[in-house]
A = this chain, B = another copy of it.
Amino acid sequence: MIDKRVASAAEAVAEIADGETVMIGGFGEAGSPIELVHALIDQGASGLTVISNNAGNGQVGLAALIRCGQVAKIVGSYPRSSNSTVFADVYRAGRIELELVPQGTLAERIRAGGAGIPAFFTPTGAATELADGKEQRFFDGVPHVLEHALRADWALIKAAAADRHGNLLFNKTARNFGPIMAMAARTTVVQAASVGAPGSLDPETVATPGIFVNRVVQIADPAQEFDLVAQGAHYP
């Protein structure tokens, strides 16, 4: 029997080890797997490499994970935030490393990691300083850079609905990095507002097939990072 449900966020992230790589879904405040990230803060793993488009908002979620000193490196496209100085402070203090990647290249590298494509050529970033040191090649007279796949030990993502097999639906623009991060991690952990029996989701509309998912935690009424930041919430 296939049953990917685990009882709690704490149990779902218990095995994340120091120094591992963790993809964290979300774009801005939409789709942040807040409860999973807070469980990771409670759990205490450190020296993590986090792959995430942004670097957190306010004093919760990823921003709090960074503030707690658990993140050694961020791979992302836009770590600036108008509502948080956590990343900026830690970065200026030299206590976190940053690999800056154009947003579409970040997405494509993650998708490649999940699809068994070790490297691909892209025009994005060619002839800019983000191409420095990268292999370049012309196609049809246009310069391209060779970009390598990104994979992770863990992916933490948020879905709107799941079933026991790990099939997922997302909500609007909270989908963002969820489906591709689910593909690219050794162990994908999902928090979903509802978790039904197989057959509860229409097979035509499944956005992430269960084969990409390892653990599902039901968080029936998830906090919205948007609301927590607006309220000035602080974790822990």
Binding site for B on A (CB under 8 A): 108, 112, 115-123, 139-140, 144, 169-172, 202, 204-205, 207
* Bound CA span A181–B172, Å: 25
Inter-chain CA distance A120–B169, complex, in Å, is 29
- A108 contacts which chain B residues (CB < 8 A)? 115, 117
A139-B119 in contact (CB<8A): yes
Q: How far is the CB of A43 from chain B (nearest CB, A)?
A: 30
Copy total for this chain = 2
Question: Could you say which of B115, B121, B170, B205 contacts A118, with CB atoms under 8 Å apart?
Answer: B121
Cα distance A122–B202 when bound, in Å?
32
Contacts of A118 in B (CB 8 A): 121, 123, 139-140, 144
Residues of B within 8 A of A119 (CB): 120-121, 139
Instruction: For A170, list chain B residues within 8 Å (CB).
Output: 204
Contacts of A207 in B (CB 8 A): 204
Chain B residues with Cβ under 8 A from A116's Cβ? 122-123
- Chain B, Cβ-Cβ closest to A118: B139
Query: A131 to nearest B CB, angstroms?
Result: 15
Chain B residues near A204: list those with CB within 8 A.
Answer: 169-172, 205, 207
By a CB distance below 8 angstroms, the chain B residues around A121 are 117-120
